Chain A
Amino acid sequence: MVTTARPAERLGTSRSWSDRPGLRILRALLRRPSAAVGLVILLFWIIVAFAVTFVIPFDPLVTDVSARLQPPSAAHWFGTDDLGRDIFRRTLYGARISLPAGFLTVAGALLIGSVIGAVAGYAGGWVDVILMRIADMVLAFPSIVLAMAIAAALGPGLKNALIAIVVVLWPEYARLMRAQVLAIKTQEFVTAAESLGVSRLRLLLVHILPNTQAPLVVKATLDVGAAIVLTAGLSFIGLGAVPPAPEWGAMIREGQRRFSQWWMATFPGLAIFSVVMALNFLGDGLRDALDPRRRGR
């Protein structure tokens, strides 16, 4: 969150706790019903991801051939798959793969992209040109297509799929960060710090970077959803999570093979949809909360 104040403000009088920018944004966010709904759904899934092993201490991989391919019932809320595994449990356990996958890949892309973008924007010159041309090259590909090619080259597996997703996601953060750094670099407080003899590294880390976060945070929020869908998509085509793992995309893939057992694909898909929808609600709300001009648009 955007909690770091500008250096100039930090020197001034301390402000009351409830005036902290992070809280102000949270309040603006919760005033929008859709953003509040998004936050609740997201929190639900995060809690599930952490707590499901305690609440339903049951191995989602255990098979029960006597109960295979059963439609939803009181015993199996979401039905069972072709090995008699309970879809409800597997869907909940899937949150333990899909959510971290989404957050980790975006965090990775955010980190790498920010560093590259900040360096490009701050250094300028040929460093800037080379780094940004590389970003342009990656951006010339639709993300799922390049991610698929990279995942195929690295070989199937969740880890490689996540690497592929980071590779396709970082350039947009680099661009955003570069634009931010360029805009801030010329502001007076930076020139002032520069003339005081602050080192270049300190200038970048302490004075410029803390003021660049808002657009990056909004983009990251929206991208977690995209990253979850990308992971699921790669698993769906067989390049991500490997079969017994209860990953949502991989479960939909199994469901596609068992077309007449509609419940096998429907419920894991519903899980993806709810998470992505929640993140989009939240991202839209965050964008409005951080940008007063856009309020209500």
Chain B
Amino acid sequence: MFGRFVLRRLLVTMPLLVGVTLVTFAVSHLIPADPLMAILPERAANDPQTVQMYRERWGLDRSLPEQYLFYLRNLLRGDLGESYTSRRPVVQDLRERFPATVELALAAMLYAVTLGLTLGVLSAIWYERWIDHVARLVALVGVSLPVFWLGLLALQLFYANLRLLPGPGRIDPRLTAPPFRTGFYTIDSLLAGDWSLFLNVLSHLVLPGMVLGSYAMGIIARMTRSALLDVLGADYIRTARAKGLAERRVILVHALRNALIPTVTVIGLTFGSLLAGAVLTETIFAWPGIGRYAVDAAMKLDLPAVLGVTLLIAVVYVVVNFLTDVLYGMLDPRIRVS
């Protein structure tokens, strides 16, 4: 039963992954100008023979479906093309930068889930009281703040003025990065047994993590609140109260467990928004992840690099959504049937 549910979700997910490559392929063909002219140095671009050679080499003289298959074949080999600016394979650039983004996104997630759940539960318990109003306002502010502006304000306040938290970057500039094992500075610094470096890495995660997580925090708080309110009106809650259970127990054990089911889904879905938000947050915090890489590339119109990041984020997004669906099915058996 559950196996069939997972299989069915998988059958939806696989074509979507192919679809994602169709979109990036389509975008790569949006460029009004000849891509070759953008890549080749001027002298080569002026020589028709050289241009023709490159055109054949990269399959640009073939029909569109053929080019797409060419593109797919390269993707399966792990070839995303070469960045125009770094002159390195895009895959290599991404591999080095991706851990930084994931580490930041996880820090943001931790903040968003902790604060979001707390606010949502408080709101629902003190429904229509002042705590509810304040918590809802905080959630709405979180959803409304443009992340790039919030990042600048946070740096102005906590770094430049109050000097409470460190500035941009993953570690202080005077420190050297831990030896590369996982690419996560938190883990790598611990593996190297360097506690002061670990603390430095943590302190650098606080500000960008909170900035990036603010939107997800708002969404999670709103979802938790409305899910909990829905559940609190249910018959079994009335029963639990009627048999004299402490309110604490009614809410934490009976209500929250069921209210968390839709919340888990939202948490999964917001992970995608965190990767997307990383694009802007990393720019503000000089964070050497794929987001900043994408923005730098976009400004230089380095299309292979931009599309590489786009594809990577979309694939992660689709996979995370698939896992969330499966988790939802595990938590709520009704979903498996529908």
A149 B32 Cβ-Cβ under 8 A: no
Interchain CB contact (< 8 A) of B298 among A140, A232, A237, A276:
A237
Contact of A280 among B24, B140, B301 (CB under 8 A): B140
A152's contact among B15, B306, B314, by CB below 8 Å, is which? B306
Q: Is the CB of B160 within 8 A of A297?
A: no
Chain B positions 226-244 with a Cβ under 8 Å from a chain A Cβ: 226, 229-230
| Shortest Cβ gap from B335 to chain A (Å) | 18
On whether the beta carbons of A142 and B15 are closer than 8 Å, the reply is no
Report the interface size for chain B: residues with CB under 8 A from the other chain: 54
A200 at the interface (CB under 8 A from B): no
**Cα-based distance from A144 to B276 in the complex (angstroms):** 6
Flag if A280 contacts B19 (CB, 8 Å).
Answer: no
Q: Kindly state whether residue A133 has any CB partner on chain B within 8 Å.
A: yes
Q: Are B310 and A237 in contact (CB under 8 A)?
A: no
Given A151-B298, A153-B303, A239-B298: A145 and B148 within 8 A (CB)?
A: no
**B30 proximity list for chain A (CB < 8 A):** 150, 153-154
Please state if B280 and A141 are interface contacts (CB–CB under 8 Å). no
Bound form: Cα–Cα A149–B302 in Å: 10
A152-B301 contact given A143-B276, A266-B153, CB 8 Å threshold: yes
Contact B140 A297 (CB under 8 A): no
Decide: A140 and B20 in contact? CB cutoff 8 A: yes
CB <8 Å contact, B298 and A272: no
- Are A280 and B28 touching (Cβ within 8 A)? no
Are B19 and A150 in touch, CB under 8 angstroms?
no
- Beyond A137-B19, A276-B146, A297-B226, whether A238 also contacts B156 by CB under 8 A is no
Known: A140-B314, A237-B299, A252-B152. A148 touches B306 (CB 8 A): yes
Contact of A260 with B229 in the complex, beta carbons under 8 Å = no
Contact B146 A232 (CB under 8 A): yes
> What B residues does A265 contact at CB under 8 A?
149, 152-153
- What residue in chain B is nearest A152 (Cβ atoms)? B298
Q: Which of A151, A277, A296 contacts B141 (CB 8 A)?
A: A277
Contact with B along A130-144 (1 / 0, CB 8 A): 000100111011111
Known contacts A272-B146, A280-B143, A142 near B273 by CB under 8 Å: yes
Chain B 136-149 per-residue mask, 1 if CB under 8 angstroms from chain A, else 0: 00001101111111
Chain B interface, DSSP helix/strand/loop, else mixed: helix
Q: Is the CB of B299 within 8 A of A256?
A: no
Among B19, B32, B128, B272, the most chain A Cβ lie within 10 Å of the Cβ of: B19
Question: How far is it, in angstroms, between the C-alpha of A154 and the C-alpha of B27 when the chains are bound?
Answer: 9
Tell me which residues from 289 to 335 in chain B have a Cβ below 8 Å from any Cβ of chain A: 294-295, 297-299, 301, 303, 306-307, 309-310, 313-314, 317-318
In the complex, whether A116 has a CB less than 8 A from a CB of chain B is no
B22 adjacent to chain A (CB < 8 Å)? yes
Q: Which of A153, A260, A273 contacts B28 (CB 8 A)?
A: A153
B119 to chain A, nearest CB (A): 15
Instruction: Determine the chain B residues whose CB is within 8 A of the CB of A284 once the complex forms.
Output: 140
Q: A141 near B314 (CB under 8 angstroms)?
A: yes
Do B16 and A140 have beta carbons less than 8 Å apart? yes
Contacts of A173 in B (CB 8 A): none
B144 and A277 form a contact (CB under 8 A):
yes
Q: Which residues of A contact B317 (CB under 8 A)?
A: 140-142
Q: Is the CB of A145 within 8 A of B149?
A: no
A262 within 8 A of B: yes
CB-CB under 8 A from B272, the residues of chain A are 142
User: Taking the complex as formed, is B191 at the interface, i.e. its CB lies under 8 A from any CB of chain A?
Assistant: no
**Distance of A219 from chain B, by nearest CB (Å):** 15
Chain A residues lying within 8 Å of B32, measured Cβ to Cβ, are: 154-155
Can you name the residue of chain A whose Cβ is closest to the Cβ of B318?
A: A140
Q: Which residues of chain B come closer than 8 Å to A269, judged between CB atoms? A: 146, 149, 152-153
Is A236 part of the binding interface, using a Cβ–Cβ cutoff of 8 Å?
Answer: yes
Bound-complex Cα distance A232 to B294 (A):
17
Q: A121 in the interface, Cβ–Cβ < 8 Å?
A: no
Taking a contact as CB atoms under 8 Å apart, the answer to whether B294 and A233 are in contact is no
**CA A42 to CA B279, docked complex, whole Å:** 28
What is the bound-complex CA distance between A138 and B143, given in angstroms? 23
B23 close to A138 (CB less than 8 A): yes
Residue of B nearest to A148 (CB): B298
Give the nearest-CB partner of B305 in chain A. A152
Can you name 14 extra interface pairs (CB under 8 A) apart from A145-B276, A152-B306, A269-B149? A133-B19, A137-B16, A137-B22, A140-B19, A142-B317, A144-B280, A151-B298, A152-B298, A237-B298, A238-B295, A239-B299, A260-B160, A265-B152, A276-B146
Taking Cβ atoms with an 8 Å cutoff, the residues of B that contact A are 15-16, 19-20, 22-24, 27-28, 30-32, 128, 140-141, 143-149, 152-153, 155-156, 160, 226, 229-230, 272-273, 275-277, 279-280, 283-284, 294-295, 297-299, 301, 303, 306-307, 309-310, 313-314, 317-318
Q: What are 16 A-B residue pairs whose CB atoms fall within 8 Å in the complex? A: A133-B15, A137-B16, A137-B23, A140-B317, A141-B20, A142-B317, A148-B294, A148-B306, A155-B32, A236-B283, A238-B298, A259-B156, A273-B149, A276-B146, A277-B140, A297-B229
Instruction: Pick the 6 closest A-B CB pairs, nearest first.
Output: A142-B276, A269-B149, A137-B19, A153-B30, A152-B298, A277-B144
